[in-house]
Each structure stands twice: as C-alpha cells, then as structure tokens.
Amino acid sequence: MSALRVTATAPGVVKLFGEHAVVYGKPAIAMAINKGIKVTVEETNDDSLVILAKDLSVKGIAIRVTGGLIEGNVIDDGQLSKLASYALTALRLVSERYGGDLRGIRVIIESQLPIGAGLATSAAVSVAAVAAYARLINVKLSKEDIAKIGHSVELTVQGAASPMDTATSSIGGVMYIKPGIELKRLSTSLKIPLVVGYVERELTTSELVKRVKALYGKYPAVVEKVMDSIGAIVDEALAALNKSDYVALGELMNINQGLLEALGVSNHRLSNIVYMARRAGALGAKLSGGGGGGAVIALAPGVEDKVAVAVKLAGGEVILIDADYEGVHIEDYN
Ligand code: MEV
C-alpha cells in the first residue's frame, strides 16, 4: 500500500583518502558519519510541489507545479536553493523511471550538518529524497539502486561528480570506491578516531573540480602523476586499515594533503588547521572533500580533545562524529 508520508534519513560523509583523483577514475575511501539529512515527503491536497527546508537557519523555498509543469519559483539565496534542486531532481528522476505524480507533494529537508561544508550534504539530500519518494509511491529500491539514482541526481545538478559520496551515504560504513569498476563496503571494524573541523567555503565543489580539470589540461604530464600518487595512497591506506595501523594511516593522510595542496584545492585557513592539528598530536590531518574551505579531518587517537581545541584555535568549527553503519533508511511512514 502507498504511504501518505515518508521520512528517510541519509548520513553525511567524510572523505578519508582520494578526493578529486576519484573524479579521474582513481580509487577513494570514504566513511559515512552519524549525522546527516532527513527528508520527509508527504502528499497534500493541492496541485503544488513545495520544497521546504527546516532548521537550516535560512529561509524556505517554494516551487510550484501547474498542469504537470514545474515552474521554479525560488524564494531564497545560494545554498538552500541548491539543496532544493537536488531534492527536486531526485523526485523527478524517480518519477520518470517508476511513475508517480509530482503534483500534491510537499518535501521537507532537515539537516544535522552544516550545509556546504564538504560533508556531502548534497549527496545525502539526493539519497534521502530518492529513498523517501520511492517508498511514498511504493517502489522497492535496494541501497545500491538508491546510490545509482542518487549519483544521477548529482550528475544532473552539478554536471560532474564521482559516485563516492552518494554510494557512501546510501550504503553506510567505510567504502572503497573505484568508479566504474568497484564499489565495496570494507569490513574493517577499526574505530577511526577523527576530529572533524570546518571553515566557510570560498568555492563550491563543482568550481574546484573545474579548476583541477583546467590544471590537468594545462600540465597533463605533471597532474597525471599527482593523480596516480593519490591512487597509490589509497591502496596503501587500504592495507593500513586492514592492519589497524594508525601511524601509517596518519602518514598517508599527510601525503594526501600535500598532493591536494599541489592540485590547488587547499587554502590558507584549511592548511593552518591541518598544521595546528598535527602540532597538537594528530597522527595525520588533511582536508576532506572538495576543499576551498569546508572540512578538515584529523586522526587523533587518544588526543581528540587536544586536537579539537587546536582546530578551534585555528579558526575552525568542530563537529563531533562517529561512523554510521546503517546508510540511508526509512525512519517513519504512514
Ligand atoms: C567531493 O566530496 C569530492 C570530489 O572528489 C568530487 C567528487 O568525488 O565528485 C572533489
């Protein structure tokens, strides 16, 4: 039986190794975190498709559907209208594939994460919206199906995206991603004691992906070697995870940060946090995600508190996280 109201939650994601190079087919390792995005999709009695965002400390937006056509009527600025376009595209792709009328639908987005801080909020919105709307129209999708549609949502909205964030948000846990070849959840039970910090972003992920592409175009022989080295780091990191070798994981994070610097995606504030975290005892620290501001992760077994203070002193906000092993799930329906 069809539900009238469904809520799905999808976790945010930290990128442990391999961001940017993963766009060029290199492997990456990412971990789902226990804070994420909640999307509620409910039937209403009118003809409109309304997308609202709650608790984001930004105004809501409304998009109206008339006679089956969607007219974008965005009453908002930057980040929120972006989030709404991921939710809208998710509903569109599901309804194109499986049927379902988009009229008379209200979508509510709630976040436990700072939006746009590089913790995969757009992937989590896409994944949660696909899961919630599919359940509303009574279509059964596996987490792998949701990951694939979620990736199509990101590709449609952004133009370029690897499957890393959407796969990790859908499936949960620690994921090894090799685009087009392999998508594997790692069986590691190793606790990865991370301090996560973030600063405001100067550039979006898609702008940074374009920058890296331009650098690659200009110096192909050089950048190719950087990408290959990041790929090699990921393979070493896989071995270090299997051996529960924190020291090696930290060192590999530091080398990965150096190569992200080489690609031009770190900035002064991020690098400052990275150095302060290392000085406070972190075994390794790097930016996580697209860069240009956004998230930093520091591997800090036994010194989490000290490293968190250092991140704050360096101007970052700290978010307390743990791993999530559940991935996207339906929380509630009736
Ligand atoms: C963004 O979270 C990570 C990037 O590698 C882009 C992507 O994988 O689509 C920069």
Ligand 1 atom closest to residue 18's alpha carbon, by position in its atom list:
5
Distance 313 CA to ligand 1 centre (A): 28
Q: How confident is the model at residue 65 (pLDDT cuts 50, 70, 90)?
A: low
| Whole-structure pTM value | 0.93
Q: Give the separation between CA 113 and CA 168, rounded to whole angstroms.
A: 16
Q: Where are the domains of the chain?
A: 5-187, 194-321
List pLDDT tens digits, range 188-235.
777 899 999 999 888 988 899 999 999 999 999 999 999 999 999 999
- Range 194-321 has CATH code 3.30.70.890: yes
Active site members: 165
CATH number for the domain formed by residue range(s) 5-187: 3.30.230.10
In this prediction, residue 72 carries a pLDDT of: 55
Q: Is the CB of 201 under 6 A from ligand 1?
A: no
Q: Is the CB of 12 under 6 A from ligand 1?
A: no
List pLDDT tens digits, range 123-154.
999 999 999 999 999 999 999 999 999 999 99
Q: How confident is the model at residue 2 (pLDDT cuts 50, 70, 90)?
A: low
Q: Give the separation between CA 331 and CA 308, rounded to whole angstroms.
A: 32
Note the helical H segments in the chain: 78-98, 121-136, 143-158, 164-171, 205-218, 220-242, 246-262, 268-279, 304-313
